[in-house]
Amino acid sequence: MKGKPILPPVYFSATYQFDCTDDLVDVVQNRTGFIYSRWDNPTVFEVEKILANLEGYDNAIGFGSGMSAITTTILTLINKNSRIITVRETYGGTFAFINKLLPKLGIQTIDVNCDDIDTLKAEIKKGATILYLETPTNPLLKVIDVKPLADLAHKNDIIVILDSTFASPINQRPMELGVDITIHSATKYLGGHHDITAGFVCCQKEYFELIWDCRRVMGGILDPMTAYLVARGLKTLEIRVLRQNENAIKIAKFLSKHKKVEIVHYPGLPSSPYYEIAKRQMKGFGGMLSFEIKSDFEGTKRFVDNLKFIKIATSLGGVSTLATQPVTNTHVGLSEEERKKSGISDSLVRISVGVENPDLIIDDIKQALDKV
């Protein structure tokens, strides 16, 4: 057949046939082909290669969700004597898994405010199995200076894992910062159209075989149709993210001057305490921002409920602009005390900026703020 498909074909087969037993044994022992789609799938394999190349790692591993990528990776690397250091500002599901579920297995977990660098370094020097970071953080857009922490972790034989979902491979290259394993929720920027749930782990060969085998056992592999949609999303990733970067800075500047806004959390504003780190560590400041309204929960809810162009929805990173109050969904699983420690107030609004005309987004925010 002349001509090749621009996107990888979708292989829906659950199992694969062989001409002889020797061929089957070769695939089982050496992974020279495909045998069963819980193990691997040609469409998934192709998109894994695309993302690995984009991130600069040897390998990528596809999962059915970002949380599946996170939990499988951590479970692969720990044992009964493990100690995990993480930042308090991790995604709510990650926080719950590390700090609520893993201690039931006898795993020691330490969470430190990402701004408390001295404590973080002190804990790293005590030793651990994993240092788990997330930057920029959700939903306050804090930016962690990764390289010094990664260098210190490696001196203490600690594996460094980073959730880079908020940045995307366009705005941040974790491997260049010394990160051993990079995780993405592909539900967000990689897919980019609010229509998939997926996750990926990017790593070098020393971790690839271990994590791949754990995925095979636990059954969290990405399905082939979703893999095809991720491949489609990656085709436009850079165009979308660059547009979202541009839109977000315009919206952040507008909000920073509005009389009903207390504070804007966006690392692209020179007033942000994370501006210099973000400017050095990232290529763009991202399409995520949050801000606190000069009101209480009810007033903030009134703002959200009066949005017309912007959609009220959880998740992020897609082509449409979304808004949400973290206390009502993304961080609802945390106690009031835990939210207070993480700086999540009742008046906080998170916006995932889309690719639309920024004037339409700003006009909608303006009219909704008038109702507060």
DSSP 8-state class, residue 7 = S
Identify the active-site residue in 40, 111, 163, 180.
163
Alpha-carbon span 318 to 105, nearest angstrom: 36
Identify the active-site residue in 11, 57, 91, 207.
91
Q: Is residue 257 a contact partner of residue 107, using CB atoms and an 8 Å limit? A: no
Distance of CA 104 to the CA centre of its chain: 25
Closest CA to 98 of 108, 360, 227: 108
Helix (H, G, I), strand (E, B) or coil at 112: strand
Q: Is 163 among the residues known to form the active site? A: yes
Alpha-carbon span 6 to 8, nearest angstrom: 7
Q: Determine the Cα angle at 256 with ends 252 and 257, to 5°.
A: 125
> Sign of the CA dihedral 236, 237, 242, 248?
positive
Identify the active-site residue in 188, 232, 301, 339.
188
Q: How many CA atoms lie within 13 A of 159 on its CB side?
A: 18
Q: Is 311 among the residues known to form the active site? A: no
Identify the active-site residue in 16, 23, 26, 38.
38
Other Cβ atoms less than 10 A from the Cβ of 363: the count is: 13
Q: What is the CA radius of gyration of the chain?
A: 21
| Long-range CB pairs of 272-280, under 8 A, 24+ apart, other chains included | 272/141, 274/136, 274/141, 274/142, 274/143, 277/143, 277/144, 277/145, 278/136, 278/143
Q: Is 188 among the residues known to form the active site? A: yes
Question: Mind telling me the catalytic residues?
Answer: 38, 91, 163, 188
